[in-house]
């Protein structure tokens, strides 16, 4: 049985005080959420203070990105060792904003996924189609290409340590949520791809999150779908009551 995972992607929001207050708010309400793993992913610069604010709570710390080299002349980048050093357990990889704005490719995401797993971090690997790709009937093809490229070389031993997030780009930050049926269709497709590449048993163990304008009001019907194992939450992760409201909707 897959345990529901609700992860908050704070993106480039908050300042130090707001990040600490948000983390404390989530930590304070976490006890009311049963049987759900909670993760918050603040901006890199606030990971340490947010980690301190979460101390003693069941809420895990995650980063929004990492670099695929150990150390050296990579100005502005952060290594997996730096993330684990300050207590991060998860890292979001291949978010559509990084793919679109920073030119991240499936090959980059694959390298980062390998590096994250080697460091004991749980990668949350994002895939998702653009609106024009959906309208052209290419969703399944795009998802397959991203799945194959972003998880290139990930072994059967490693795959159950990976979380996949299906984030239709047209639903991110737009208020346009995928219908539960649209989400389930792609999630079931991803599970079939996992099953074909690995085994049906291993495919059943991998958590597949939905992301894209998820809110307390629409979370229950999305999370009720058999292949939707949680959510990656952007805007609604910036208020403890909204973030926890989504978790409680399960």
CB of 129 to ligand PEP, least distance (A): 14
What's the rounded Cα separation, in Å, for the pair 229 and 207? 6
- For ligand PEP, the binding residues in 188-217 under the rule CB under 6 A are 211-214
CB of 70 to ligand PEP, least distance (A): 27
- The residue among 227, 207, 223 whose CA lies nearest residue 215 is 223
172 contacts ligand PEP (rule: CB under 6 A) = yes
196 burial level (CB within 10 Å; 0-12, 13-18, 19+): exposed
CB of 115 to ligand PEP, least distance (A): 21
Is 170 marked within a binding site? no
- For ligand PEP, the binding residues in 223-242 under the rule CB under 6 A are 232-236
CB of 148 to ligand PEP, least distance (A): 22
Binding mask 3-42 for ligand PEP (x = CB under 6 A): ------x---------------------------------
Whether residue 167 lies in the annotated active site:
yes
Is 11 marked within a binding site? yes
Give 109 or 233: the residue with its C-beta nearer to ligand PEP: 233
173 contacts ligand PEP (rule: CB under 6 A) = yes
Binding mask 132-171 for ligand PEP (x = CB under 6 A): -----------------------------------x----
* Residue tagged active-site, from 95, 97, 133, 187: 95
CB of 174 to ligand PEP, least distance (A): 7
Whether residue 114 lies in the annotated active site:
no
Assign 3-class secondary structure to the chain.
CCCEEEEEECCCCCCHHHHHHHHHHHHHHHHHCCCEEEEEECCHHHHHHHHHHHCCCCCEEEECCCCCCCCCCCCCCCCHHHHHHCCCCEEEECCHHHHHHCCCCHHHHHHHHHHHHHCCCEEEEEECCCHHHHHCCCHHHHHHHHHHHHCCCCCHHHHCCCEEEECCHHHCCCCCCCCHHHHHHHHHHHHHHHHHHCCHHHHHHCEEEEECCCCHHHHHHHHCCCCCCEEEECHHHCCHHHHHHHHHCC
Q: Which residues bind ligand PEP (CB under 6 A)?
A: 9, 167, 172-173, 211-214, 232-236
Residues involved in catalysis: 95, 167
Question: Binding site for substrate: residue ranges?
Answer: 9-11, 173, 213, 234-235
Question: Binding site: residue ranges?
Answer: 9-11, 173, 213, 234-235
């Amino acid at each position: 049985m897959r345990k529901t995972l609700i992860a908050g992607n704070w993106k480039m929001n908050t300042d130090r005080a707001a990040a600490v207050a948000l983390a404390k708010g989530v930590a304070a309400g976490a006890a009311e959420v049963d049987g759900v793993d909670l993760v918050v992913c603040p901006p890199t610069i606030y990971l340490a203070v947010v980690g301190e604010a979460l101390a003693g709570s069941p809420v895990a710390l995650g980063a929004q990105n990492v670099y695929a080299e150990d150390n050296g002349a990579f100005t502005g980048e952060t290594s997996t060792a730096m993330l684990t050093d300050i207590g991060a357990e998860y890292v979001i990889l291949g978010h559509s904003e990084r793919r679109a704005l920073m030119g991240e490719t499936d090959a980059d995401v694959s390298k980062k996924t390998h590096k994250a797993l080697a460091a004991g971090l749980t990668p949350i690997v994002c895939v998702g189609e653009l609106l024009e790709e959906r309208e052209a009937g290419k969703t399944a093809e795009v998802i397959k290409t991203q799945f194959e490229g972003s998880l290139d070389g990930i072994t059967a031993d490693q795959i159950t340590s990976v979380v996949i997030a299906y984030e239709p780009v047209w639903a991110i930050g737009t208020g346009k949520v995928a219908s539960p049926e649209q989400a389930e269709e792609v999630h079931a497709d991803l599970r079939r791809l996992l099953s074909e590449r690995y085994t049906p048993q291993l495919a059943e163990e991998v958590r597949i999150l939905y992301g894209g304008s998820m809110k307390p009001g629409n979370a229950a019907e999305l999370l009720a779908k058999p292949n939707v194992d949680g959510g990656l939450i952007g805007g609604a992760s910036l208020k403890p009551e909204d973030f926890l409201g989504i978790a409680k909707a399960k």
